[in-house]
């Protein structure tokens, strides 16, 4: 695994615009890195794929264990959330996608940092933008990326309903969310479904069902909006009253909760793709990372030299042994490894100047 | 064996579609209305059987939602219109037709989700 500098395509902004990628620069800062890529060898790609597949299987096993035991307390979930989770899990409601963030240096096994199983973004960049970059810049090279065709195949497993479109809702004012939602809607349309896009705030409630702007009752809804927020908002009180099929389904609440990290470690101790994790900082030797149970894009994540250096342990924190991201001349990549359906589907890489990947990190294409 | 997609075709994603302009066509933000009828037959006369449903509040039938103004309706090819034309359109003539007896303005309440800015990560 190495970081390679390349000459930017002279017309790269136009090339981006042609495929609808309109947030390659955010607040005058580059989000897309045009002049570099990460290059792997085939063994490394095999290792990433296998780790992702194994971690996914372990995650599903953990969900089954939690639902069987009914012990939701470690995840901070109440009975109401648990009912939704159990109904969706026992009803075998399918998941569409998820992104595991892995720390990987090409030499040691990939380590799971967290699993964004509910509302992952950076999907369009990983699936489409870096694929077109490869076609333009390194057409002879390969890329671990069959996300697009796997998404279409996943949508094809949902029955096509002629009388009831598949609805997509997100916060349309957020460009990255809008692109993710619209890209998924694109793949869904290609799979033969009739689709409708909504802003989250436009979802209605008519007393018995959630509705769209034409007062059609929503039967299936892809939402790019975290489950914990849905439960917390005014219409959350109606969640248990409908038979609506959610994408992602409620059981994904378990996998997207960082409390799954200590639960995984307890169930699969010393697994090579896991890091020691606990709700008690003193269980972790040496340098450790403190993360909120629910949080995104590095929010409120901090690194401490030792448990004793943490000012206060009050709050819903998860502690994980620190496994620093590899350092390529001061640039630190995290591997976002995609699951589509139940298959490892490809990777996207974001890099940062600091040790924690945040919403200001940059996307870098890859090849092998 | 290659690990990358053979080809990628985008059906919806273009510069114009990513922009907010496209979402103007996703529905009517203004209030929607629907007609109430004394019988299923009268409703069906205006809209057809498959677009009418029993109205438990009146014991009659209720038609599909339509835009509350001509402007709203003209922007949506799928809008069924305000009805009331059974006897004059002649499409589905019904001798007992008395026309709508009321208008239901009780559309869904909204904004119960989406109070926060961004959901993905």
Question: Taking CB atoms and an 8 Å cutoff, what residues of chain A touch B34?
Answer: 215
Query: What is the reported pLDDT for A157?
Result: 95
pLDDT confidence of residue B121: 81
Based on the fold, state whether residues A200 and A178 are members of the same structural domain.
yes
Is residue A267 situated within a structural domain? no
Nearest CA in chain A to B111: A201
Model pLDDT for residues A92-150, shown as the tens digit of each residue = 999 999 999 999 999 999 999 999 999 999 999 999 999 999 999 999 999 999 999 99
Residues A219 and A243 in one domain: yes
The reply to whether A153 and A299 lie within a common domain is no
- On whether residue A70 sits in a domain, the answer given is yes
Nearest to B41 by CA among B96, B120, B79: B96
Whether residues A301 and A362 share a domain: the answer is: no
**Closest chain B C-alpha to A152 CA, distance in angstroms:** 11
Query: What is the rounded CA–CA span in Å between residue B3 and residue A40?
Result: 13
Indicate if A207 and A295 belong to the same structural domain.
no
Asked whether residue A266 is domain-assigned, the answer is no
How much is the pLDDT for B92?
A: 66
* Nearest residue, CB atoms, A182 vs list B5, B13, B108: B13
Q: Check whether residue A73 and residue A222 sit in a common domain.
A: yes
Dist CA A321 CA A75 (whole Å): 19
Asked if A302 and A337 sit in the same domain, the reply is no
Alpha-carbon gap, residue A212 to A203, rounded angstroms: 6
Do the domain assignments include residue A271?
A: no
Contact assessment for residue A104 and residue A1, using Cβ atoms and an 8 Å cutoff:
yes
Q: Are residues A234 and A309 in the same domain?
A: no
Where b means 16+ CB within 10 Å and e means fewer, B44-57 reads bbbbeeebbeebee
| A76, A194: one domain | yes
Q: Does B96 touch chain A (CB under 8 A)?
A: no
Q: Is residue A264 part of a domain?
A: no
Residue of chain B with shortest Cα separation from A297? B121
Task: Tell me: pLDDT of B23 over 60.
Answer: no
- Residues A252 and A295 grouped into a single domain: no
Residue B90 pLDDT: 53
Does any domain span residue A313? yes
Residue B21 scores a pLDDT above 50: no
| Residue A131 belongs to a domain | yes
Q: Which residues pair with A114 in a beta bridge?
A: A101
| Residue-by-residue pLDDT tens, chain A, 368 positions | 999 999 999 999 999 999 999 899 998 999 999 999 999 999 999 999 999 999 999 999 999 999 999 999 999 999 999 999 999 999 999 999 999 999 999 999 999 999 999 999 999 999 999 999 999 999 999 999 999 999 999 999 998 887 789 999 999 999 999 999 999 999 999 999 999 999 999 999 988 999 999 889 999 999 999 999 999 999 999 999 999 999 999 999 999 999 999 999 999 999 999 999 999 999 999 999 999 998 777 788 899 999 888 887 777 899 999 999 999 999 999 999 999 999 999 999 999 998 888 888 999 999 99
Reported as a single tens digit per residue, the pLDDT across B31-60 is: 789 999 999 999 999 999 889 999 988 899
DSSP B108-121: PEE-SS--SS----
Contact A186 B10 (CB under 8 A): yes
A296, part of any domain: yes
Spatial separation of the C-alpha atoms in residues B45 and B85, rounded to whole Å: 9
The verdict on a CB contact (< 8 Å) between A22 and B19 is yes
Q: Domain tally for chain A?
A: 2
Residues A298 and A221 both lie in one domain: no
Residues A194 and A302 in one domain: no
Using a CB-CB distance cutoff of 8 angstroms, which residues of chain A are in contact with residue B31?
none
Considering only CB atoms, which chain B residues are within 8 Å of A189?
11-12
pLDDT on residue B86: 83
User: What is residue A64's predicted lDDT score, i.e. its pLDDT?
Assistant: 98
Q: Which domain holds residue A282?
A: 276-321
């Amino acid at each position: 695994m190495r970081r390679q500098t390349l000459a930017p395509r002279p017309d790269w902004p136009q090339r981006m615009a042609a495929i609808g990628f309109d947030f390659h620069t955010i607040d005058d800062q580059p989000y897309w890195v045009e002049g570099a890529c990460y290059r792997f060898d085939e063994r490394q790609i095999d290792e990433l794929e296998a780790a992702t597949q194994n971690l996914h299987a372990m995650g599903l096993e953990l969900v089954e264990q939690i639902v069987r035991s009914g012990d939701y307390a470690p995840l901070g979930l109440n009975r109401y959330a648990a009912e939704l989770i159990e109904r969706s899990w026992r009803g075998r409601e399918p998941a569409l996608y998820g992104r595991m963030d892995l720390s990987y240096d090409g030499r040691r096994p990939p380590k799971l940092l967290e699993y964004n199983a509910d509302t992952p973004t950076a999907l369009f960049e990983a699936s489409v933008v870096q694929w077109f970059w490869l076609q333009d810049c390194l057409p002879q090279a390969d890329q671990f990326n069959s996300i697009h065709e796997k998404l279409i195949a996943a949508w094809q497993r949902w029955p096509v309903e002629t009388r009831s479109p598949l609805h997509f809702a997100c916060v349309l004012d957020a460009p990255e969310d809008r692109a993710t939602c619209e890209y998924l809607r694109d793949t869904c349309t290609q799979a033969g479904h009739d689709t409708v896009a909504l802003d989250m705030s436009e979802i209605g409630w008519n007393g018995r069902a959630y509705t769209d702007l034409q007062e059609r009752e929503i039967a299936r809804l892809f939402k790019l909006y975290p489950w914990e927020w849905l439960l917390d908002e005014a219409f959350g009180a109606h969640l248990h009253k409908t038979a609506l099929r959610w994408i992602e389904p409620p059981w994904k609440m378990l996998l997207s909760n960082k409390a799954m990290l200590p639960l995984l470690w307890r169930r699969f101790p010393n697994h090579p793709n896991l890091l020691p994790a606990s709700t008690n900082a003193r269980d972790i030797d040496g340098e450790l990372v403190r993360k909120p149970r629910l949080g995104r894009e590095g929010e409120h994540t901090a690194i401490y030299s030792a448990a004793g250096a943490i000012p206060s342990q009050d709050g819903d924190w998860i502690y994980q042994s620190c496994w620093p991201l590899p350092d390529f001349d001061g640039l630190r990549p995290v591997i976002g490894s995609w699951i589509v359906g139940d298959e490892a589907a490809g990777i996207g890489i974001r890099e940062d100047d600091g040790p924690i990947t945040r919403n200001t990190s940059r996307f870098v294409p890859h090849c092998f | 064996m290659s690990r990358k997609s053979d080809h990628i075709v985008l059906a919806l994603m273009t510069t114009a579609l990513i922009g907010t302009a496209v979402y103007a066509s996703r529905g009517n933000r203004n209030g929607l209305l629907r007609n109430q009828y004394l019988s299923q037959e009268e409703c069906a006369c205006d809209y057809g059987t498959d677009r009418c449903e029993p109205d438990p509040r009146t014991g009659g039938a209720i038609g599909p939602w339509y835009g509350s103004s001509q402007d709203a309706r003209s922007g949506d090819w799928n809008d069924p219109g305000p009805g009331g034309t059974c006897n004059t359109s002649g499409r589905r003539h019904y001798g007992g037709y008395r026309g709508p007896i009321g208008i239901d303005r009780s559309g869904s309440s909204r904004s119960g989700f989406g109070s926060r800015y961004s959901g993905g990560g």
